[in-house]
């Protein structure tokens, strides 16, 4: 007949769910929950900023496939969380966001409390589901419901707003039943419709030149083995969205690096596209010709857990709502019963050759000994140093474009990037790295970040140091918002506005927080610096002074996508300079 607080009850539900970490920033209103965690298998990981805490929870979920949990206090805490939750919302990452709220009798509507904020409405646009938990008696029901919503169907962040009196309130522990996971949420995801799968199988085996285009939904579902099996069985080349990188190792004979010439040619020439777990967003060129075939001529089968994604940006011939892994299992079984394994397809080698041609220039540049250091050279040294299963975190604007060329991904869920999804959120790198390293302490985690992006999360170096996490951060330092400056260089005749920083010694900042720090200005020093960073056993920052004049060759392409329909600046005013 023990009485327990709302905070204690919340902790017990999270323990049942198997939560290992709650990432967050503490606050007065969270006291009962924080106090409950003192005696728990769950560890509270404190951050300097709520957004970073949310990024860490997000990364933890991305690399484990499990629920991430983040907590913040009322008002400013909730407001600061929003930016951190946005990538998870944009990219379908299951997060439970816990905010403290002022007392029930002071909130909804507020009448003058400090830090008052309508967090229910605030979180609505960036969550899949949310609720105010306005009674101790509803903690179990609403928390289980939130988790069910986060993990069922299209995953996504969910939010619970806990008034402080609810967390402080006590009730009899015998009055509540904590359920096993299988009692409050599905533990298997739904398969697609069998008739549609049969039709899809028939269409696939009769296709002359099919491709698979797989996205982040495949990683969320854990369907990478099924994608590989289908691809190898019928020798179907696989392209991925940026967020789907790692579904197949990028040196696999059937894998084509996103947006490489090989991938674009395969996408344009395929007579059948099997879309799995992706909605064909802007970095997939919206599924439009000429980068894809003409609708009607090029057939499309789409498999997605979300009905809303089916035919979102392009008409489909067969749309199947279902979990990627469960649906592909059925599809493969059907195909195996109808068709023999294929040895090869004529076009595959041609696509791979196009990919090699596309890569060759970047690989050549990555060996340059020029000073200032070419960004590709620095990225190449980092990738070369680490094993295939290292988790790479990429953050920034131009940095992510440069890294796209040369930072190869070889395993599922080992690539985290601000560009790897729909948010394009920069400033995620340090916290993503911390979340990933906590999830996989046995694996190497490295982060390549632009200096602007690094500035958002630099204080979290202290978090990494406190937690004893060896992560190496390579800062590609051009003392500017490089991507925006590139645009002003190319389109506005170098008339710069708001893009330059002062000189900053990021290595010295690192040392001030007890981390390892080193600046590198000569490319010949990169490899040893990376080695020393790792051997330090500490979070390490390598501040690499890069050539600020270099603009990624695809910058203009990206600008074209992002500014489609915008004639800016007017042609007669400025000359567009050729990219060298």
Interface residues with other proteins (CB under 8 A)?
Answer: 261, 264-266, 268-269, 285, 288-291, 347, 350-351, 354, 357, 556-557, 560-561, 564, 571-572, 575-579
Pairing of strands 3-5, 170-172: antiparallel
Closer by beta carbon to other proteins, 459 or else 561: 561
CB 261, min distance to other proteins, A: 4
- CA dist., res. 550 & res. 534, Å (int): 28
Pairing of strands 210-214, 21-24: unpaired
Residues in the chain: 580
- CA dist., res. 554 & res. 204, Å (int): 33
Q: What angle do CA 178, 181, 184 make, to 5 degrees?
A: 75
- CA dist., res. 96 & res. 37, Å (int): 16
CB 237, min distance to other proteins, A: 12
CB 356, min distance to other proteins, A: 11
Tokens for 364, please give them. Answer: 């050549």
Q: What is the 3-state secondary structure (H, E, C) of 509-533?
A: HHHHCCCEEEEECCHHHHHHHHHHH
CB 576, min distance to other proteins, A: 5
- CA dist., res. 574 & res. 468, Å (int): 52
Closer by beta carbon to other proteins, 178 or else 559: 559
Closer by beta carbon to other proteins, 352 or else 440: 352
Tokens for 515, please give them. Answer: 């981390």
Closer by beta carbon to other proteins, 31 or else 261: 261
> Are the CB atoms for 140 and 9 separated by under 8 Å?
yes
Closer by beta carbon to other proteins, 43 or else 271: 271
- E strand or H helix at 99: strand 95-101
Closer by beta carbon to other proteins, 289 or else 441: 289
CB 60, min distance to other proteins, A: 36
User: What's the burial of 112, exposed, middle or buried (CB within 10 Å: 0-12/13-18/19+)?
Assistant: exposed
Closer by beta carbon to other proteins, 501 or else 562: 562
CB 278, min distance to other proteins, A: 19
CB 93, min distance to other proteins, A: 29
> Are the CB atoms for 304 and 176 separated by under 8 Å?
no
Listed in sequence order, the DSSP H helices in 76-193 are: 76-91, 119-123, 139-151, 164-168, 181-184
CB 275, min distance to other proteins, A: 19
CB 406, min distance to other proteins, A: 18
Listed in sequence order, the DSSP H helices in 304-408 are: 324-338, 346-365, 375-385, 398-406
Closer by beta carbon to other proteins, 38 or else 571: 571
């Amino acid at each position: 007949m023990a009485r327990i607080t709302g905070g204690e009850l919340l902790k017990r539900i999270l323990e049942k769910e198997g939560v290992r970490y709650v990432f967050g920033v503490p606050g007065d209103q969270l006291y009962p929950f924080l106090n409950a965690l003192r005696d728990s298998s769950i560890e509270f990981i404190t951050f300097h900023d709520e957004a970073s805490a949310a990024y860490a929870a997000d990364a933890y979920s991305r690399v484990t496939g499990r629920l991430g949990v983040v907590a913040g206090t009322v008002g400013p805490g909730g407001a600061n969380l929003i930016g951190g939750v946005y990538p998870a919302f944009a990219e379908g990452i299951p997060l439970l966001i816990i905010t403290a709220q002022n007392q029930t009798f002071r909130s909804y509507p507020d009448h003058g409390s400090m830090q008052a904020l309508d967090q229910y409405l605030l979180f609505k646009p960036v969550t899949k589901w949310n609720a105010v938990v306005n009674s101790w008696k509803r903690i179990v029901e609403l928390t289980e419901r939130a988790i069910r919503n986060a993990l069922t169907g299209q995953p996504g962040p969910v939010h619970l707003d806990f008034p402080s009196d609810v967390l402080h309130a006590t009730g009899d522990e015998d009055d509540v039943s904590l359920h096993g996971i299988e009692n409050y949420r599905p533990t298997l995801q739904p398969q697609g419709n069998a008739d549609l799968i049969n039709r899809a199988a028939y269409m696939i085996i009769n296709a002359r030149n099919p491709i698979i285009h797989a996205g982040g939904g495949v990683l969320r579902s854990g369907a990478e083995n099924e994608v590989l099996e289908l691809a190898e069985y019928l020798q179907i080349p696989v392209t991925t969205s940026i967020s789907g990188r790692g579904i197949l190792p990028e040196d696999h004979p059937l894998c084509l690096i996103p947006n490489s010439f090989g991938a674009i040619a395969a996408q344009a020439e395929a007579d059948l596209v099997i879309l799995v777990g992706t909605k064909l967003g802007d970095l997939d060129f919206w599924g439009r010709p000429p980068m894809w075939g003409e609708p009607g001529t090029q057939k499309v089968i789409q498999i997605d857990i979300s009905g809303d994604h089916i035919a979102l940006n392009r008409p489909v011939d067969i749309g199947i709502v279902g979990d990627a892994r469960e649906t592909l299992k059925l599809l493969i079984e059907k195909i195996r019963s109808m068709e023999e394994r294929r040895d090869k397809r004529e076009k595959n080698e041609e696509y791979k050759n196009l990919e090699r041609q596309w890569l060759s220039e970047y690989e050549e540049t990555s060996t340059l000994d020029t000073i200032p250091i070419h960004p590709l050279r620095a990225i190449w040294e980092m990738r070369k140093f680490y094993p295939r299963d290292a988790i790479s975190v990429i953050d920034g604007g131009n940095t992510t474009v440069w890294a796209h060329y040369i930072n190869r991904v070889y395993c599922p869920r080992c690539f985290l990037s601000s560009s790897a999804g729909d948010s394009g959120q920069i400033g995620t790198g340090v916290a993503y790295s911390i979340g990933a390293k906590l999830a996989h302490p046995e694996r190497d985690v490295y982060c390549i970040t632009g200096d602007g992006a690094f500035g958002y999360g630099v204080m979290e170096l202290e978090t990494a140091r406190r937690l004893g996490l060896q992560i190496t951060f390579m800062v590609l330092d051009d003392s500017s918002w490089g991507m925006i400056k590139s645009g002003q260089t190319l389109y506005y005749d170098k008339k710069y506005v708001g893009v330059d920083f002062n000189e900053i010694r990021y290595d010295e900042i690192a040392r001030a927080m007890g981390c390892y720090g080193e600046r590198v200005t000569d490319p010949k020093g990169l490899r040893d610096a990376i080695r020393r960073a790792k051997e330090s056993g500490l979070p390490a920052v390598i501040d690499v002074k890069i050539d600020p004049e270099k603009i990624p060759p695809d910058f203009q392409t990206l600008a074209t996508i992002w500014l489609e329909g915008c004639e800016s600046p007017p042609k007669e005013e400025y000359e567009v300079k050729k990219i060298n």
